Amino acid sequence: MDGVGEKCILTGLRANHFRHPLDLRATESLKQLPGLDLAIRALLRPTAEQFFYLENIATSVLVGPQQLPDIHQLLVEACQILDIEAPQLYVKQHPVPNAYTFAMRGKQPFIVVHTSLIELLNAKELQAVIGHELGHLKCDHGIYLTLANLLTLAASQLPLGPVLAQNLQNQILEWVRCAEFTCDRAALLVSQESRVVASVLMKLTGGSPTLSPQLNLDAFLAQANAYEDLNYDQLAIFLKQLRTQELTHPVPVLRAKEIMQWHNTLNYQRLLQTRRLQLNEDARGGWRNW
């Protein structure tokens, strides 16, 4: 197979080739929300851009060919696969395993990965995380994603009134949860191994550098199936909704179940097959557009 190692490079990949339908609907709903433009202008001023960029570059390590080159190569390969320009990648000392993307108007986008997350994962899993974060950039999630991160801190200061501010926050959180499903798909497109993506979610749920080697992925996936089956009455459905409405991410077991299902769809298989065929045709000087 043409690609990075044994992987297919998805030349010409566009966001809507893999965007989750929930993400599509939530994005359209968000765009129609009154007060959104005002919130963006209030929170994402040029001074805010400069502050976050300087804060990050001053307190994290910038990854590159001469700085953590193995991690830099994971980024380069992931960008090749997703057909996206490489952003800056920083490693930040932090005890909470996490990774996030920051992209604001007029500035170089960057990804931050916490040291504790790197210690938790193997190289394949770390590249899947990088692919997930690249998915935010590929799908132009940056402005809304940054707004989501800031809104809960500044909602009380927005000149929107408490009801509208709360409505904005609820809509933004719903959008973020939907966008995460899309970015898990980007992680799978980079990894091209569904069990690697599911393993990341398992380790984020209950792993540590000591416990992770002992975790059983098949048992975790069975746990995900059990959670999905808890729709037997209205009370169970209500409790699940109540549990997630304040979260910025869907619960990990649901994400694992979702990515395993998408891996088995014709949509995913045809996407890789079409890209693979295009690479073969390109090598013979054939058609180049999809």
**Segment 117-133, tens digit of pLDDT:** 999 999 999 999 999 99
**Nearest-angstrom CA–CA distance, 252 and 184:** 11
How confident is the model at residue 101, as a pLDDT? 87
Residues above pLDDT 90, as percent of the chain: 48
Number of Cβ within a 10 Å radius of residue 119: 11
How confident is the model at residue 282, as a pLDDT? 46
Q: Is residue 285 part of a domain?
A: no
Q: Is residue 104 part of a domain?
A: yes
Angle at 257 between CA 272 and CA 268, to 5 degrees: 10
How confident is the model at residue 17, as a pLDDT? 94
Q: Is residue 281 part of a domain?
A: no
How confident is the model at residue 268, as a pLDDT? 95
Greater pLDDT, 190 or 229 = 190
- Let me know if 133 is a catalytic residue: yes
Number of domains in the chain: 1
What digits encode the pLDDT tens for the residues 132-189?
A: 999 999 998 877 777 666 655 444 444 444 444 566 667 777 788 888 999 999 999 9
Q: Beta strand pairing status for 88-92 and 61-62?
A: antiparallel
**Nearest-angstrom CA–CA distance, 92 and 52:** 14
Greater pLDDT, 71 or 10 = 71
Beta strands in the chain (DSSP E): 61-62, 88-92, 99-102, 110-114
Label residue 287 by pLDDT band (50, 70, 90): very low
Structure tokens at 72: 């830099």
Q: Is residue 239 part of a domain?
A: yes
Mean pLDDT of 264-278: 82
Q: Is residue 7 part of a domain?
A: no
Q: Is 242 exposed, middle or buried (0-12, 13-18, 19+ CB in 10 A)?
A: exposed
Instruction: Kindly tell me if the per-residue pLDDT of 61 is higher than 60.
Output: yes
Domain of 77 in residue numbering reads as 15-272
How confident is the model at residue 13, as a pLDDT? 92
How confident is the model at residue 150, as a pLDDT? 63
Label residue 45 by pLDDT band (50, 70, 90): low
Q: Is residue 212 part of a domain?
A: yes
Greater pLDDT, 251 or 285 = 251
How confident is the model at residue 163, as a pLDDT? 42
Residue 108: name the closest of 90, 123, 129, 132 by CA. 90
Q: Is residue 9 part of a domain?
A: no
Q: Is residue 143 part of a domain?
A: yes
Greater pLDDT, 170 or 108 = 108
Among the ranges given (86-95, 205-214, 218-227, 231-240), the one the predictor scored with the smallest mean pLDDT: 231-240
**Nearest-angstrom CA–CA distance, 224 and 182:** 19
Crossing angle of helices 252-263/194-206, nearest 10°?
180
133, 174, 180, 228: which one is catalytic? 133
How confident is the model at residue 26, as a pLDDT? 82
Q: What does pTM read for this prediction?
A: 0.83
How confident is the model at residue 93, as a pLDDT? 96
How confident is the model at residue 274, as a pLDDT? 77
How confident is the model at residue 41, as a pLDDT? 63
Greater pLDDT, 186 or 275 = 186
Greater pLDDT, 25 or 71 = 71
